Chain A
Amino acid sequence: MISPMSDLHIELKASIIEQLNLEDINLDEIENDEPLFGDGLGLDSIDALELIVLLEKDYGIKLNDPQQGKEIFNSINTMAAFIEKNRTK
């Protein structure tokens, strides 16, 4: 179990804000267990594709099945856990 305040959590929030152009959102406004899609941050299908690119670019993880993304991108916590387990860089 990784700490919810780990560097990875913070790093992820920062890169999501930058990569997805969430210009009016601050780091501390994203909760670790808050849903990223739907009501949460209001991300959409293009954002999901952009997160797949982020996984590959920053952590060397290739997702070939977009359906897989649904669980992984549920929240910052689920993303961080998945990255810890599968990262190649």
Chain B
Amino acid sequence: MNDLYIQNNLVCRSSEIWKNKALFFKSEENDDLKAFLKKAYQYIEMDYPKFFKMDNLSKLAILNFEILIQNEKIQDPALVFANSNSSLDTDQKFQKSTATFASPALFVYTLPNIMLGEISIKHTLRSENIFLISKEFNPSLYTQYVSQLFQDKNISETVCGWVDLHNSEYDVLLCRITRNGEVKFTEENLQKLYDQPHE
């Protein structure tokens, strides 16, 4: 456990993306989620047409993942993600579609781990995946699972993610965990990153 470190971190809330505690991108305050996501996509020149087919949760995950690892070489990171509201945002949209014509393109996004699939496809990651649900952000979920992963397997890094969306409020924390660095991978440090004030 002592030899794991938080390498990079990213926080995305209310039209702002902060990478390693510095403001990376900000769109208009009254932009809705769709507009915010599109502007950020254009800002990083992502050029990935599949992006527009994704639901908002997957867009949040893949876009912020791109920013987290921008200009860096990743080594098949395991993905350990969690949230509170599962895929409820898209569940509600799919449920509405069933009144007339159930939409297969919505149904496929009614699982929260689809985010992990989208990230894996974009970066050809055949790594370990898990998606957990917790009422609130809970750093112990990550520290427990990740330290066991590193013990067991030939894993060189992990990306931990909290990607939550409810009633158009979104809340994202991503952390890249590696075997060397300065900030130790502890519950306290994760919680601090999650709580970081952005003024």
Q: Does a CB–CB distance below 8 Å link A and B in the complex? A: yes
Q: Is the CB of A46 within 8 A of B101?
A: no
Q: Is the CB of B49 within 8 A of A20?
A: no
Q: Is the CB of B52 within 8 A of A46?
A: no
List B70-111 residues whose CB lies under 8 Å from chain A. Answer: 100-105, 108
Q: Does A38 contact B (CB under 8 A)?
A: no
Query: Which residues of A lie under 8 Å from residue B53 when comparing CB positions?
Result: 20-21
* Choice from A21, A23, A42, A53 contacting B104 with Cβ under 8 Å: A53
List A1-41 residues whose CB lies under 8 Å from chain B. Answer: 20-25
List A40-75 residues whose CB lies under 8 Å from chain B. Answer: 42, 46-47, 49-50, 53, 56-57
Query: Which residues of B lie under 8 Å from residue A53 when comparing CB positions?
Result: 101-104
Q: Is the CB of A24 within 8 A of B52?
A: yes
Q: Is the CB of B101 within 8 A of A57?
A: yes
Query: Which residues of A lie under 8 Å from residue B108 when comparing CB positions?
Result: 46
Complex CA–CA separation, A53 to B49 (angstroms) = 22
Residue of A nearest to B97 (CB): A53
Complex CA–CA separation, A46 to B53 (angstroms) = 10
Q: Is the CB of A46 within 8 A of B100?
A: no
Residue of B nearest to A50 (CB): B105
Query: Which residues of B lie under 8 Å from residue A23 when comparing CB positions?
Result: 49, 52
CB-CB contacts of B100-135 with A at 8 A, as 1s and 0s? 111111001000000000000000000000000000
Residue of B nearest to A45 (CB): B104
Complex CA–CA separation, A24 to B49 (angstroms) = 7
Residue of A nearest to B104 (CB): A49
Residue of A nearest to B52 (CB): A23
Complex CA–CA separation, A42 to B108 (angstroms) = 18
List B15-66 residues whose CB lies under 8 Å from chain A. Answer: 49, 52-53
Complex CA–CA separation, A57 to B104 (angstroms) = 13
Q: Which of B52, B53, B103, B108 has the largest count of A CB atoms less than 10 A from its CB?
A: B53
Q: Is the CB of B105 within 8 A of A47?
A: yes
B74 to nearest A CB, angstroms? 25
Query: Which residues of B lie under 8 Å from residue A25 when comparing CB positions?
Result: 49
Query: Which residues of A lie under 8 Å from residue B103 when comparing CB positions?
Result: 50, 53
Q: Is the CB of B101 within 8 A of A21?
A: no
Binding site for A on B (CB under 8 A): 49, 52-53, 100-105, 108
Binding site for B on A (CB under 8 A): 20-25, 42, 46-47, 49-50, 53, 56-57
Known: A22-B49, A49-B104, A50-B104. 7 other contacts (CB 8 A): A20-B53, A20-B105, A21-B53, A46-B108, A53-B101, A53-B104, A57-B101
